[in-house]
Structure 1
Amino acid sequence: MNSPHYILLPVSPFFIIVSLALAFFLNFLPWGHAVGVPDFVALVLVFWSIHQPRKVGIGVAFMMGLLMDVHDATHLGENALTYTLLSYFAITIHRRVLWFKPLTQSLYVLPLFLFAQALQIIVRLAVAQDAHFPGWLYFVESFVTTALWPIASWLLLAPQRRAVDRDDTRPI
């Protein structure tokens, strides 16, 4: 607790929209079904649900989930359900998570990402007739997404750290 806490500027709604759109387009990249490719939309949704729960909540998560359902050509509502529950649980722990540094925060968000992937598997197994368990390597995605958490925190909080009008005599 000895580290200084900086006063952040208010986040711009335009920046939130741009970050969500960029995460959505990063999920468009042709990774194929490679093991360990992170879900950038889930990462950014959890980040904004923790840092700005009044601006990015369950409704935004549901809409992003529907867009990902259309993009992935999965069962309509699979990603919407996952992102909605992911956002809900991120909002419930947001006060506790914000006390810690980004590296420690990643320990709090890892169970959220694991839960989201487990929920996606459960929905696929329950709905599809020819579905099978993809194996335990499927969960590597959650660990890669969690490893990106400190980088995402640094990048997404960067515009809020700058001073409105820089003054060398002012301590803040």
Structure 2
Amino acid sequence: MIMRPGQPLLLPANPFFIWFTLIFAMMINMLPLGRLPWMPDVLAIVIVFWSVHQPLRIGVIAAFVFGLAIDVHQASLLGQHALAYTTLSYFAITIHRRLLWFKVPSQAVQVLPLFAAAHGIELAIRMLGGAPFPGVTFLLSPVVEAALWPVVSVLLLWPQRRAPDPDENRPL
């Protein structure tokens, strides 16, 4: 694979770390903080991140299963989050090669429409089920998720940036 100039060489991602971060993000979503319309969906951010960086390990099926788990936990319409996360994962895998050529702040701007589409799908399904419109603050959630993209990128790529055997003579 041709790499962007100045991009560091990364170690392979540990599958246990990938699944741990996904389960940890799901547990953050399940915290009883009260669901405000502007709160970010941490699991959606992590699903998009791993779908972009490891599309062969985390895909549409994993996103669907995590979406069903969130639907059951929140007692929402079954399939609401599953459809949104599946769509997120599909489009993240679709753009992953192009997205990785950009720097992280530019990536955040490009994943903003993905997050907006996922929240739009959730809103449409919720309103078709008879729920009221949550208000204009609902539009802030994709913006907050896109703003968290650089933070999540740094945190989740950190274990891959270390040298396998640190040594003062090794340039990597």
TM-score by length of 2: 0.94
- Residue 107 of structure 1 aligns with an amino acid whose one-letter code is V
Aligned-pair distance for 1:37? 1.2
Q: Tell me the C-alpha RMSD between the 2 structures.
A: 1.4
Residue 163 (structure 1) aligns with: 163
- Once the two structures are aligned, what percentage of the paired residues are identical? 50
Which residue is 2:120 aligned to?
118
CA distance in 2, matches of 1:35, 1:83: 17
Distance 2:61 2:159 in 1: 25
Aligned twin of 1:89: 91
Change (3 A) 1:48 1:23: same
Separation of aligned partners in 2, 1:133 and 1:147: 24
Q: Distance in 1 between matches of 2:70 and 2:37?
A: 18
Within the candidate set 53, 56, 68, 1:54 is matched to: 56
**Is the CA contact 1:31–1:37 (under 8 Å) kept in the aligned structure 2?**
no
Query: Within the alignment, does 1:153 sit opposite 2:149 as a pair?
Result: no
Aligned residues: 170
Q: 1:59-116: CA deviations, max 9, x gaps?
A: 1000000100011100111111110011000000000110111111001110000000
One-letter amino acid matched to 1:9: L
Counterpart of 1:79?
Answer: 81
Q: Which amino acid aligns with 1:18?
A: F
Relative distance call for 1:66 and 1:5 in structure 2 (3 A) is same
Measured in 2, the distance between the counterparts of 1:132 and 1:75 equals 14
Q: Extract unaligned runs of 5+ from structure 2.
A: none
Q: State the partner residue of 2:68.
A: 66
How many angstroms apart in 2 are the aligned matches of 1:35 and 1:55?
A: 31
Per-residue deviation, 1:2: 8.2
Q: TM-score, normalised by structure 1?
A: 0.94
- Deviation track 1:139-163 (CA, whole Å, cap 9, x = no partner) reads 2111111111000000000000000
Conserved 8 A contact 1:113-1:142 = yes
Match of 2:105 among 103, 106, 124: 103
Q: Secondary structure at the match of 1:163?
A: coil
Contact 1:50/1:94 (<8 A) preserved: yes
Alignment partner of 2:108: what SS?
helix
Aligned residue in 2 for 1:144: 144
Match for 1:96: what amino acid? R
Deviations 1:106-134 (A, max 9, x none): 011100000000111111122x23x2222
